[in-house]
């Protein structure tokens, strides 16, 4: 299972670079006699590398408007400009666009012409980070695979905005203005293939409702979450990486077996209000509990199997897999208790 999960994550995070590299290689041997054609078609404000004719670089140019995009372009870089509007006209011929980077502009929802994004039928990656959006733009291209909306002013998610995005694997909404009321039970409906959901640095007090079942990575750092509902993770049985750093979790806010979930390999609970280590599963590999209020550690109590089983070198079926344990910033005094080392035989690093 671990190998399968890491394979999926590798595809999620490296597909961009692999795809781009493949396209670049395809044009490395471009005949110089065609360079003048690509140069003449290039908007004067932008750069069109002859060795990569599917890309258009218009970043860091002080642009206030999007220039006309040539039909051949797949990759469009418009980040770090002063663009306020996204209208249909510049995209009239750009029917092959796969990737648009509009990060760090001044785009508002009212500045996005109705339907302009959904008409980009082949678009897979849309980056609109560091703009002035107040809600998730809609409608969106149905084939979209990554949507990055971090560091806007988003406080509202229109009903049904994600309902047709079956191919979306990454949704990044971190550092916005989302309240619990913005996340309804059907907000993420339709995101059947979502792998990563990032809602960190918002204003949530509760765990979000109805997370897509296939989610592997759930990031909820820097909110004000106090309680983990009973059996919350049974609805997302594949969750592997869970980040809840910088919240308001206390011992009373965590059910007895709240984090005793076999799918979770990396659990981060740093900077909360815990006074003891919550029960964990034998499959867990990385545990971050630094900067809580923990005063002591009892290996016999936190060991996910009995110490007698852990001492049996020949028993490998349920041997705890914990490799990294971080406990600094608590009130724990060294040395590390011996029963911790007896239980977690695979530990490679303990920070205390």
282 and 346 Cβ atoms separated by less than 8 Å: no
* pLDDT score, position 305: 87
**Dihedral pair phi/psi, residue 228, rounded to 5°:** -100, 115
Model pLDDT for residues 90-128, shown as the tens digit of each residue? 999 999 999 999 999 999 999 999 999 999 999 999 999
Residue 150 has pLDDT above 70, yes or no: yes
pLDDT score recorded for residue 9: 56
Q: Which of 106-120, 189-203, 293-307 has the lowest mean pLDDT?
A: 293-307
Q: Which residue has the higher pLDDT, 15 or 351?
A: 351
Average of per-residue pLDDT values in the chain: 89
3-state secondary structure of 296: coil
E strand or H helix at 22, and its extent? helix 2-26
pLDDT for 5 equals 54
314: pLDDT strictly greater than 50: no
**Comparing C-alpha atoms, which of 93, 78, 98 is closest to residue 22?**
98
Q: How far is CA 338 from CA 296, 300, 307, 334, 335, in A?
A: 13, 10, 11, 11, 9
Angle at 232 between CA 230 and CA 238, to 5 degrees: 145
pLDDT at 12 over 60: no
Q: pLDDT-based confidence at 19, cuts 50/70/90?
A: very low
Which tokens go with 89?
């006209």
Query: What sign has the CA pseudo-torsion 171, 87, 106, 63?
Result: positive
- Residue 326 main-chain phi, psi, to 5 deg: -115, 120
With a cut of 60, say whether residue 10 has pLDDT above it.
Answer: no
Q: Would you call 126 helix, strand, or coil by DSSP?
A: strand
Q: Identify the H or E element spanning 231.
A: none
CA dihedral (134, 104, 86, 72) positive or negative:
negative
Residue from 319, 323, 328 nearest 297 by CA: 328
User: What is the chain's Cα-based Rg?
Assistant: 24
Structure tokens at 347: 């530990």
Instruction: Give 35's Cβ-side CA count (13 Å radius).
Output: 10
pLDDT at 291 over 50: yes
User: Is the per-residue pLDDT at 29 higher than 60?
Assistant: no
Query: Which of 8-17, 183-192, 223-232, 276-285 is least confident?
Result: 8-17
Does residue 1 surpass a pLDDT of 50? yes
């Amino acid at each position: 299972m671990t190998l399968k999960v890491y394979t999926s994550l590798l595809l999620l995070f490296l597909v961009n670079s692999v795809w781009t590299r493949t396209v670049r290689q395809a044009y490395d041997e471009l005949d110089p006699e065609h360079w003048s054609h690509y140069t003449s078609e290039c908007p004067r404000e932008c750069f069109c590398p002859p060795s990569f004719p599917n890309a258009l670089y218009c970043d860091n140019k002080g642009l206030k408007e999007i220039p006309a995009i040539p039909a051949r372009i797949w990759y469009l870089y418009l980040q770090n400009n002063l663009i306020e509007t996204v209208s249909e006209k510049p995209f009239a011929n750009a029917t092959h666009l796969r990737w648009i980077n509009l990060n760090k502009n001044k785009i508002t929802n009212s500045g996005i012409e109705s339907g302009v994004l959904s008409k980009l039928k082949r678009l897979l990656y849309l980056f609109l980070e560091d703009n002035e959006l107040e809600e998730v733009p809609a409608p969106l291209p149905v084939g979209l695979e990554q949507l990055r909306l971090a560091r806007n002013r988003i406080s509202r998610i229109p009903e049904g905005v994600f309902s047709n995005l079956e191919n979306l694997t990454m949704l990044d909404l971190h550092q916005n203005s989302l309240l619990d009321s913005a996340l309804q039970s059907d907000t993420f409906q339709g995101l059947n293939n979502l792998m990563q959901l990032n809602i960190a640095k918002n204003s949530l007090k509760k765990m979000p409702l109805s997370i897509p079942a296939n989610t592997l990575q759930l990031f909820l750092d820097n909110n004000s979450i106090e309680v983990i509902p009973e059996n919350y993770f049974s609805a997302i049985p594949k969750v592997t990486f869970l980040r809840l750093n910088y919240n308001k979790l206390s011992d009373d806010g965590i059910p007895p077996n709240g984090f005793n979930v076999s799918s979770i390999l990396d659990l981060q609970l740093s900077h909360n209000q815990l006074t003891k280590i919550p029960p964990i599963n034998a499959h867990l590999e990385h545990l971050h509990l630094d900067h809580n209020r923990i005063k002591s550690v009892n290996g016999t109590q936190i060991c996910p199997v009995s110490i007698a089983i852990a001492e049996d070198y020949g028993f490998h079926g349920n041997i705890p897999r914990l490799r990294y344990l971080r406990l600094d910033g608590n009130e724990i005094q060294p040395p590390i208790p011996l029963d911790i080392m007896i239980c977690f035989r695979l530990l490679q690093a303990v920070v205390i």
